[in-house]
Amino acid sequence: MKHSYLLLFALFQIPIFAQYCTNVGPTSTVDSNVESVVLSGVVGTINYVGCPAVVGLHDLSQSVNVSLNAGTTYTISVKFGTCSGNYAGVGEAWLDFDQNGNFDAYESLGTWAGTPPALIQNWSFTVPPNAVNGQTRLRVMQREAGTLPLNPCGTFTWGSVTDFGITLTNGLDCTGYPGDDQNDPIVVGTLPYTDTRSTEVCYSNQNYVYPSPDIYYYFEPNPLLQQVNVSLCGANFDTFLSVVDMNGTVIAYNDDSPECAPQSALSFDATALGPLYIIVEGWGAFNGAYTLQISSSYVGLESNLNKAFNAYPNPSMGLLHLTPNSGVYQFLDMQGQLLQTLDTQVQAVFKMENLVAGVYLLRELETGRIQKWQKI
């Protein structure tokens, strides 16, 4: 059953940076180990010596960095070997071209199988023209008694895993792709709202639930919202949809909607909720194109509408009179978007001449009563 991750979901907090798996690699420092890695870039050179070995991930991504140009061919030289005894094993290297936080199968640079001492492996690779500009990672792994293809997030007893920093240039510029994390979300405007995108390029894995790329939307429920409906029906991949507050607390989530499985759709009660993030991602490692649709209904619009209070003239050419000291009112458009707060303890006559002609809503905060008001 593909919902096995959902128990973890209730515990997650929103991370800030792309999440590479780092709890990887060997538990022992003896025997099999990558002996050397050499890669010369347009700027900088990796010239790594592997022994003595380390437990777990040897993370050099912030201290060793090479710049590579998209569309250019390079050669990486790796010597799979040992720091003591010689035992059969396998090795592989990956470069995260799309910066999604995963080492995908198409990002494998080469594989090796054998028993040390082994010849240096020289693998030529071309950085794809659409590789994403910026900082990414190269991972080199050796596993004693392993099998190919290797799991770049695997743990084992003997071997090594080392990460290096790579800066990609002359590729895809993702500065025009907002929504990669909560620091640069796509802002949801007036409801109903529709947005069409793809998670396939320029988006990384920011959400602990699944390793797929995800896209963040920022949404502020207005005072009249009750039920909010969010749908990914029609996406071309298996999706996962979630809603969290600013603290990372889960408000709602859905994997397979009964309406459109394996796509996702959900509804939640937005009454009294503050700002939210709506997160679009794939189930597992899936990604693709989607159209996000958000709609809503409104609190008490039918039960409280036209329980009149003293707001006049109605219709009006611009002046709105309310009873002095009668409380605080919200002035909203017909989609429930708050336009202005009117405090009758401060003033009782409000100039609305600049409004576009049409019908608006007045909501009395204390009672919830709602009245239509027309600007002509």
Whether 129 and 227 map to the same domain: the answer is no
Whether 275 and 286 map to the same domain: the answer is yes
Beta bridge partners of 204: none
The continuous run of DSSP H or E covering 364 comes out as: strand 358-364
Q: What is the CATH number for 368?
A: 2.60.40
Is residue 6 in a domain?
no
Is residue 33 in a domain?
yes
Q: Please indicate whether residue 262 or residue 309 has the higher confidence score (pLDDT).
A: 262
Query: For 285-322, what is each residue's pLDDT tens digit?
Result: 899 999 999 998 755 444 444 555 677 888 888 888 88
Whether 216 and 289 map to the same domain: the answer is yes
* Residue type at 109 in one-letter notation: L
Residues in the chain: 376
Domain that holds residue 274: 186-298
pLDDT at 116: 95
Is residue 13 in a domain?
no
Q: What is the CATH number for 224?
A: 2.60.120.380
Is residue 1 in a domain?
no
* Residue type at 58 in one-letter notation: H
Whether 158 and 22 map to the same domain: the answer is yes
Query: For 323-341, what is each residue's pLDDT tens digit?
Result: 887 888 888 877 677 788 8
User: How large a percentage of the chain has pLDDT more than 90?
Assistant: 60
85: tokens are: 């005894």
Whether 150 and 25 map to the same domain: the answer is yes
Q: Show which of 242, 273, 298 is a domain's final residue.
A: 298
Buried b (16+ CB within 10 A) or exposed e, 63-86: ebbbebbbeeebebebbbbbbeee
| Confidence label for 13 from pLDDT (cuts 50, 70 and 90) | very low
Taking residues 67-88, report their average pLDDT: 97
Whether 156 and 200 map to the same domain: the answer is no
Q: What is the CATH number for 162?
A: 2.60.40.2950
Is residue 12 in a domain?
no
Is residue 348 in a domain?
yes
Whether 130 and 239 map to the same domain: the answer is no
Whether 312 and 358 map to the same domain: the answer is yes
User: With 60 as the cut, is the pLDDT of residue 99 above it?
Assistant: yes
Whether 51 and 81 map to the same domain: the answer is yes
Whether 224 and 345 map to the same domain: the answer is no
Beta-carbon contacts of residue 87 (< 8 Å; ≥ 6 apart): 31, 32, 115, 116, 144, 145, 158
What is the pTM for the complete model shown?
Answer: 0.63
Is residue 2 in a domain?
no
Q: Show which of 169, 200, 227 is a domain's final residue.
A: 169
Task: Count the domains in the chain.
Answer: 3
Whether 55 and 139 map to the same domain: the answer is yes
Is residue 177 in a domain?
no
Whether 289 and 305 map to the same domain: the answer is no
Q: Show which of 250, 265, 298 is a domain's final residue.
A: 298
